[in-house]
Amino acid sequence: MQANFDAALSLVFMEEGGFVDNPEDPAGATKYGITIHTLSAWRGYPVSVRDVKALTRKLAAEIYRKNYWELINGDILPVGVDYAMLDYAVNSSPEHAIRALHKVLGQDAVSQPTPLTMMALTTHSSTCTINALCDEREAWLKTLPNAHIFGKSRLARVRRVRKRALAMAQGAAEKTAENNIIPFNTGQQIAAPETGIKKETGSEKKDCRLLQFSYLHALGAAGATAVTGLIAMVLKNGFLETLIICGLIVIAAFIYYCRRKMHSNTDTISH
């Protein structure tokens, strides 16, 4: 969520620390998690190690908002999920984090957020999403060539991120419960299918089943998400561009509906 950016970023800063220049790290000189390559791209010319050392926290925050938070649609992600995604994006690139999110939501693993991403998030609790995302991240980190050097510290970081993200999500759920609000990312459990995303609590693996909305709750959640996203787009892109984007979203939703209808008819005929 937009209001959670500062809190999420402060935790990223805590993990990234200050200036480092480890010869074993292919990222090169880094400060606050901003690599020499990232800073060079931001400024439009090759920077020196000295420039990296002089990087301010304020500029680093600006880079994180523009090049990471906005790319993952952090303003409209559920609380907790937004932090888990930001840390993933900083550590492994926004594109990789987005593909991982799509994968755990059962969607095509593309590197850009889609309208269907937000729709899918409304049918999963934040706890399920965070655990599945961190599981996916841990599995990928273990496959990296330099895992024997940085693997232990990277996995420890994911464990810390998981714990903090779950605490954020729980705090948001308790806060909304006190105000008798049903947030789009928590849902109401109507029926829990036997299959679902797995989550890890301590050393045990437990079922984290898909939470389904009632029709009215889903409709209200989708409306709240759409209004939030629409306001953000108007402020960022202007009215005309937002209108074009909305038109494309409607077309995409229509195509998706038609495809689902065709699959449904095919299944009916086969039975």
Q: CATH number of the domain that 209 lies in? A: 1.20.141.10
Identify whether 231 is part of a domain: no
Identify whether 267 is part of a domain: no
Q: What pLDDT was estimated at residue 151?
A: 72
Identify whether 249 is part of a domain: no
Residue 86's domain comprises 2-213
Identify whether 148 is part of a domain: yes
Across 34-48, 122-136, 209-223, least confident range: 209-223
Q: Residue 246 — pLDDT band, cuts 50, 70, 90?
A: confident
Asked whether 36 and 12 are in contact (CB, 8 A), the reply is no
Identify whether 223 is part of a domain: no
Identify whether 228 is part of a domain: no
Q: Per residue in 179-218, pLDDT tens? A: 655 554 544 433 333 334 444 444 444 445 444 333 344 4
Q: What whole-number percentage of the chain has pLDDT above 70?
A: 69
Q: What pLDDT was estimated at residue 203?
A: 41
Identify whether 159 is part of a domain: yes
Three-state secondary structure readout of 233-268: HHHHHCHHHHHHHHHHHHHHHHHHHHHHHHHHHHHH
pTM of the model: 0.65
Q: What pLDDT was estimated at residue 6?
A: 94
Q: How many domains are contained in the chain?
A: 1
Taking residues 73-80, what's their average pLDDT? 91
Identify whether 106 is part of a domain: yes
